[in-house]
A and B are shown apart, each in its own frame.
Chain A
Amino acid sequence: MVESILVLTHADENGMLSQASLEGVTAGKDLSVGLGAPLVIGVVAVNGSLATSLGFGNARVLCVADEALAQSRYASDAAACEALCRAAHASIVIVAAGSRFTRVAAGVAFRLGGLIDTHITSINVSASGEGRSIEVTRSFYRQRIEAVLSRDARPWFLLIDAGTHAAFTGDGPVGEVEDVPVELPSLRTQVLGLRAPQQNALTIRPEAKLLLVAGAGWTKKQADGQTHAAEAGDLILGFLRNTGASLGSSKSLVDQGGDGGPVLPFLTHMNQIGQTGSMPRHAKGLSTCCHGEEPHVVGWRFIADRRAISLDPNCGWARGKADVVYVADAFKVMAKVNEKLAAANEANSAVAAPDRDFQRSQEVDAAVLV
Chain B
Amino acid sequence: MTNELHIVVCAGIAPDPLQTLEPVTGATGPGLKNEMMLPAILDPWAASALFEAANLASRFPGSKVWLVSLGPKAKLQQVMMTVAQKAIFELVPIDAPIGGFADAHATAGALADAIAALPGLDREKLLIFGGWESATRGAGVTLQLVGERLGITDQFQGVDQIDLHDDGSFEVLERVEGGKHQVSRCIGAPAVLGWATGNLAEPRNNPQTGMANMRTIMPALQKAKLATLTANGLHYSSVSLPKQQRTTRVVKDRSPDEIAAEIVAWIGAN
Report A's interface with B, CB cutoff 8 A: 72-75, 78, 98-100, 102-107, 109-111, 115-119, 135, 139-153, 185, 188-197, 200-206, 210, 243, 255, 257-259, 269-272, 275-277, 284, 286, 293-295, 297, 301, 306-307, 309, 313, 317-329, 332-337, 339-341, 344, 352, 368-369
Contacts and interface: CB of A to CB of B under 8 A. Distances in A.
B44 A275 contact: yes
Nearest to A269: B197
Contacts of B36: none
Contact of B259 (A78, A100, A306, A333): A333
Contacts of A200: 179
B27 interface: no
Contacts of A106: 104, 139-141, 144-145, 148
A119 to B, nearest CB: 6
Nearest to A351: B268
Given A320-B245, A332-B256, A294 B264 contact: no
14 contacts: A73-B184, A74-B156, A139-B242, A149-B237, A153-B232, A193-B183, A206-B178, A270-B179, A295-B17, A307-B263, A321-B246, A327-B252, A337-B263, A339-B260
Contacts of B251: 324-328
B259 A328 contact: yes
A368 to B, nearest CB: 7
A106 B245 CA distance: 34
Contacts of A103: 144, 155-157, 174
B215 interface: no
A188 B154 contact: yes
A99 B144 contact: no
Contacts of A295: 17-18
Interface in B237-270: 237-242, 244-252, 254, 256-257, 259-264, 266-268
Contact of B180 (A153, A195, A271, A297): A195
Nearest to A254: B197
Interface SS of chain A: mixed
Interface SS of chain B: mixed
Contacts of B74: none
Interface of B: 14-15, 17-18, 20-21, 23, 30, 32, 44-45, 100-101, 103-105, 135-141, 144-145, 147-149, 153-158, 160, 171, 173-188, 196-202, 232-242, 244-252, 254, 256-257, 259-264, 266-268
B201 A196 contact: no
Given A140-B136, A205-B178, A335-B256, A99 B250 contact: no
Contacts of A269: 160, 196-199
Contacts, number: 289
**Nearest 10 CB-CB pairs, A to B?**
A258-B201, A204-B179, A336-B260, A106-B141, A269-B197, A152-B233, A332-B256, A106-B144, A74-B155, A153-B233
Given A102-B157, A307-B263, A336-B257, A323 B201 contact: no
A132 to B, nearest CB: 15
A224 to B, nearest CB: 16
Given A99-B177, A196-B180, A321-B248, A141 B21 contact: yes
A191 B248 contact: no
Contacts of A197: 179, 181
Given A188-B154, A329-B256, A149 B235 contact: yes
Nearest to B176: A99
A325 B101 CA distance: 35
A78 B183 contact: no
B133 to A, nearest CB: 8
Given A103-B157, A195-B182, 15 more contacts: A139-B242, A148-B236, A150-B237, A151-B233, A243-B267, A258-B200, A269-B198, A276-B197, A286-B263, A295-B18, A319-B248, A327-B250, A328-B256, A336-B256, A339-B260
